[in-house]
Amino acid sequence: MKRPLLLALGWGAASALALPPLHALPILLVALPALLALLGAAGSWRRAALLGGAFFWAHHTVGLYWVTHALFTDIARWFWLVPIAAPGIALPLAAFGLIPALAAWRAPPGWRRIMAFSAAWVIAELLRGVLFTGFPWNLLGTVWAFHALPLQPASVIGVHGLSLLTVFLACLPALRSWRWMGAGAAVLAIWMGYGGWRMTDPAPPHQNVRLVLVQANVAQDVKWQAEQRMPIFQRYLALTQLGTTAAQVAHPDVPVLAIWPETASPFLLADDERARRMAAEALAPGAQLLAGSMRAVWGPDGRLTQVFNSLVGVDDTARVTATYDKWHLVPFGEYMPLGGLIPIRMVVGGMDFSAGPALTTLSLPGIANFSPLICYEIIFSGRVAGAQRPAWLLNVTNDAWFGISAGPFQHLAAARLRAVEEGLPVVRAAQTGISAIFDRQGRVVAQMALGETGTLAGWLPGDGPPGFFARHGLLVPLCLTLLIALIGFLPQGPGMRSRKRDDSQK
């Protein structure tokens, strides 16, 4: 059993190389068939569960190695977590991997096993996005996010549908049949052909808004130092003044919107009139600002009662024009789950953040309605647009926690997929990058690299009518997955068994 276990660990680790930013997709053509072979040879469900758990644990450990970087912002306090952070997070994620592992072990061999395995993989992904507040990071469909063309079917079947196709196609070499390989090549050709056809549609005209994304590139280990608050704020102000002034000079009759990333302001903009006044003075006349900032609520006795991770709108008169409070909080990062029974708090401060009421759609004077999404709220497929369909999606985030690593690239890939799924432009402002503007088909309109300092200017891309996935959401990949699972677990009749014997003799 030792050798199969080591093989499962090795192939699981290798399969993570297909994820952003490497996108080494060919490795899946070897890693997934190897896993199927190991599961097919497992003598019991317990052994299959152990092999599957090992594969998915290694897959998630390598895919999430970058979380360790967050510990280095306070290494004196968290040094003991360095060797166990990524493996520890991977453990509960590997538990979801038992679903496809046991499905493959239980399903009939051959193409039915591949169908059952593919469907169970996606069922595990769907559950991972819901249970225990949800963590749908590194869904397998994101391996295609290196270009907009292969992402286009997500407008119909979502990222989970891409995962289903990816697992199925990657497992076909396990059948050792040229007929099945040819069928897989045909599916891939149709997939890419659909992507190319869809991208021939002309992009809708851009909206009459000039965006200025401010990427101040503030390192996380200095972000909350008291002596750095004003220098950081002044850096944002200076970049905002340069960016909005240049935009206004180039396009004097066009609304200008500056956007700061998550918790960019060291001061509570909604409550601090002086800081708000300074921000307003940095704006070009008539320009507006959307800034990530914490928001506080005080009780009648003057004591702090609640803190929110918020997005605050400010105009050039220092008036607050809009607020949004993040509603999907990060466990351990923004609040302590289980009543604080596990004493690990990865953020500065001794108070949990409070959750906002719900996802919403905001409006600003002269700016089309948008749905704001703070940090990892963008990773939840089918749950990013408010009840009133917006004209665009805004994601502000602070990926400085993860330094120059795969983390920001994986986060960016999720944002790109939301653009295709929802058929809406996605604007992303990140503290250290990667800031970007995507059109409704996931094409890059503008982008600023990880670790750069400056402003990213561009037109707000046009929106369009909702596609199939945008109208029906996760119901689409769920129904498709259940259908594939049903086919995979259908009993094997005598005629089918005889055909299988004939195929094996060939």
Residues with catalytic roles: 262, 326, 375
Q: Say how many Å lie between the first and final Cα of the chain, rounded.
A: 32
d(CA 313, CA 367): 12
CB of 485 within 8 A of CB of 477? no
Q: Are strands 367-374 and 362-364 parallel, antiparallel or unpaired?
A: antiparallel
HEC secondary structure over 250-317: HCCCCCEEEECCCCCCCCCCCCCHHHHHHHHHHCCCCCEEEEEEEEEEECCCCCEEEEEEEEEEEECC
HEC secondary structure over 307-326: EEEEEEEEECCCCEEEEEEC
Amino acid at 242: L
Of 64, 61, 65, 88, the closest CA to residue 344 belongs to: 88
Q: Which two tokens stand for residue 187?
A: 């599916």
Give, as one character, the DSSP assignment of residue 457: E
> Which strands make up the sheet holding 454-460, listed edge to edge?
320-325, 304-315, 288-298, 256-259, 207-215, 454-460
CB of 349 within 8 A of CB of 343? no
Distances (CA, A) of 130 to 126, 127, 226, 411: 7, 5, 38, 18
Q: Which two tokens stand for residue 333?
A: 């990062």
- Interior angle at CA 178, CA 32 and CA 486, nearest 5: 55
What is the chain's length?
Answer: 506
